[in-house]
Structure 1
Amino acid sequence: MVDEATRRVVSEIPLLKTGASPRDKELWVQRLKEEYQALIKVNGEGGALLYYAPRGQEACQRFRNTAGVFYVQIPVTYPATAPEIAIPELDGKTAKMYRGGKICLTEHFKPLWARNVPKLGLAHLMALGLGPWLAVEIPDLISKGLIKHKDN
């Protein structure tokens, strides 16, 4: 279930219109413009991208102070296929991760993405995929002592 805070935050993320993939050349440029506009609107100029994930804010801060790097892998069939997120520093530390540090989005996020192609974009991936994953996994990994704050 999605709580009201999550609904409010996600409703502020602009929906995308262009369904172009990286193979579509000129239309892909339009898709990228929409992606950047959505990220900037939600994140602000030069802001910290993860902080608008409502329940994941504290976890995101902890993550930023512990591991800190994640990668978004955009498939050539994007946006028809959901992107993947990899956090190499956490590879093998949680069962909710695939080889190479790819976080598990299969059960919850990928079906949502499939129902909403091409409207969802990278900003939605952060708010509905990465943010909730971090909110659950990072506190658990810290409590188990598998990751520590960089200052400790």
Structure 2
Amino acid sequence: MGAELWGAYKNTVALACGLVDGLHAKGGDNLKAALVLAGFSEGMMLLDAMGAEPSTAFGPAGIGDLYVTSTSPRSRNRTLGEKLGSGLSLEESQGEMHMVAEGVRACRMFNNRARRLGMEPPFLEALGGLLDGSIEVEEAVRRMVDSYQG
């Protein structure tokens, strides 16, 4: 069960990392590293609560896949995030892509599951707020970075 959950969850982190590429933010690599840390940390707590084996997070299906998907220019989810970060709406961004990026659906699903478990995942809530149009890109990135509970 862990590999399946991490396989879906990593797409939300990749989408968040793409936002930084679209913003052309100063310190972009460090900002992406902070997003990976915040997203991975939240994923550890949430996916554990959902029944994922914690050790899966540290293997190829966890941090390995998350790293590749978050950094590859061929990643659909990172690319969607880049389009959103450049100022396009979700609809415009999806319209420019000829493939499905699973991160949008995954974000909504994990937010719903977290609520049912009595959890409030700030990383996913910030990303969901951006996807739903209730917060701007810069604010979403700030909230996601600030969500790290180290």
Query: TM-score when scaled to structure 1?
Result: 0.28
Structure with more relative contact order (C-alpha pairs < 8 Å, separation 6 or more): 2
Larger helix share, 1 or 2: 2
Q: Which has the larger radius of gyration?
A: 1
Larger strand share, 1 or 2: 1
Query: TM-score when scaled to structure 2?
Result: 0.28
